[in-house]
Amino acid sequence: MQYEVRHENDFHFIEEGSGPVLLLLHGLFGALSNWVDVVERFSKNYRVVIPLMPVYTLPVLNTNVKALAKFVGEFIEFKKISDIILVGNSLGGHVALVYVKDHPEKIKAMVLTGSSGLYENAMGGSFPRREDYDFIKQKVEITFYDPKTASKELVDECYAIVNDKGKLIRILSLAKSAIRHNMSEDLKNIHIPTCLIWGKQDIVTPPEVAEEFHRLLPLSDLFWIDQCGHAPMMERPFEFNDVLEKWLAELKN
């Protein structure tokens, strides 16, 4: 299903449905399309908003997690939204945490899935074989439990990104920023209901990362999805949406 990408005031975003706001943040190699099944399921009862984060367009010297959190803040102010349920995958989860730490008054609840912020086994500090298509294909496939989830379209997109020098520099800058910006000391101060949805076979942010988030975040619930890697909303969308829907129903009570 295709959704209209809106362009307002230098922001590109998808916005579907009405009701409580679900704000979705994609990861480093992510895109608006990562959330298509979430939009389809939740736009019936929620206002689902997905900003396209400026991963590849920030000034190189200012390409870091804090800059992306600042962008999210500017987007939230532009849209004049509050009482937000903030959902982040991978780097998007890390950005969500940085934003929530500084602006808890805007957020009703948070959902993290495969989030960085404590530890991640990233693709590596460089791409010495970035012109090798099969090498990139293998790197994309390990994001998922089932390698077949890495469609040719997805691999082609990642291959094009890492072979664009400007985009590659920013990816490496963001990856290093995420590693440096460890949030273990901040999490105890985040008193917002948090749903952790994790793939049991995630090798990018392994299960022990989810358990550490659960231990450090005071108001967190942890849910596992079996036979699933780093992007549950893509690989196991029905299970992911079921967990999220039930948790949000409990949140209302």
The C-alpha atoms of residue 123 and residue 109 are separated, in whole angstroms, by 30
Q: What is the average pLDDT across 74-96?
A: 96
Q: What's the confidence (pLDDT) of residue 2?
A: 76
Q: What's the confidence (pLDDT) of residue 25?
A: 97
Assess whether pLDDT exceeds 80 at residue 123.
no
Q: What is the average pLDDT across 188-200?
A: 97
Q: What's the confidence (pLDDT) of residue 120?
A: 65
Q: What is the 3-state secondary structure (H, E, C) of the chain?
A: CCCCCEEECCEEEEEECCCCEEEEECCCCCCHHHHHHHHHHHCCCCEEEEECCCCCCCCHHHCCHHHHHHHHHHHHHHHCCCCEEEEEECHHHHHHHHHHHHCHHHEEEEEEECCCCCCCCCCCCCCCCCCCHHHHHHHHHCCCCCHHHCCHHHHHHHHHHHCCHHHHHHHHHHHHHHHHCCCCCCHHHCCCCEEEEEECCCCCCCHHHHHHHHHHCCCEEEEEECCCCCCHHHHCHHHHHHHHHHHHHHHHC
Q: At 86, is the pLDDT very low, low, confident or very high (cuts 50, 70, 90)?
A: very high
Q: What's the confidence (pLDDT) of residue 125?
A: 45
Q: Choose between 174 and 112: higher pLDDT.
A: 112
Q: Domains along the chain?
A: 6-120+181-252 (3.40.50.1820)
Q: Enter the pTM of the model.
A: 0.93
Q: Choose between 145 and 135: higher pLDDT.
A: 145
Cβ neighbours, 10 Å, residue 158: 20
Q: Tell me: the pLDDT tens digits for 158-189?
A: 889 889 989 989 988 888 888 888 999 999 99
Residue type at position 65? V
Q: What's the confidence (pLDDT) of residue 175?
A: 85
Q: Are 98 and 148 contacting, i.e. CB atoms less than 8 angstroms apart?
A: no
Q: Nearest to residue 25, comparing CAs of 63, 53, 57?
A: 53
Q: At 122, is the pLDDT very low, low, confident or very high (cuts 50, 70, 90)?
A: low
Q: Nearest to residue 124, comparing CAs of 136, 113, 134?
A: 136
Cβ neighbours, 10 Å, residue 56: 16
Q: Are 178 and 90 contacting, i.e. CB atoms less than 8 angstroms apart?
A: no
The C-alpha atoms of residue 144 and residue 132 are separated, in whole angstroms, by 20
Assess whether pLDDT exceeds 70 at residue 13.
yes
Q: At 124, is the pLDDT very low, low, confident or very high (cuts 50, 70, 90)?
A: very low
Lowest mean pLDDT across 89-98, 127-136, 232-241: 127-136
**Mean pLDDT score of the chain, rounded to an integer?**
91
Assess whether pLDDT exceeds 90 at residue 234.
yes
Lowest mean pLDDT across 29-33, 116-120, 205-209, 213-217: 29-33
Q: Tell me: the pLDDT tens digits for 142-158?
A: 999 999 999 999 999 88
CA distances from 37 to 3, 33, 161 (A): 11, 9, 24
Q: What percent of the chain has pLDDT over 70?
A: 95
Assess whether pLDDT exceeds 80 at residue 121.
no
Angle at 226 between CA 84 and CA 140, to 5 degrees: 80
Assess whether pLDDT exceeds 80 at residue 7.
yes
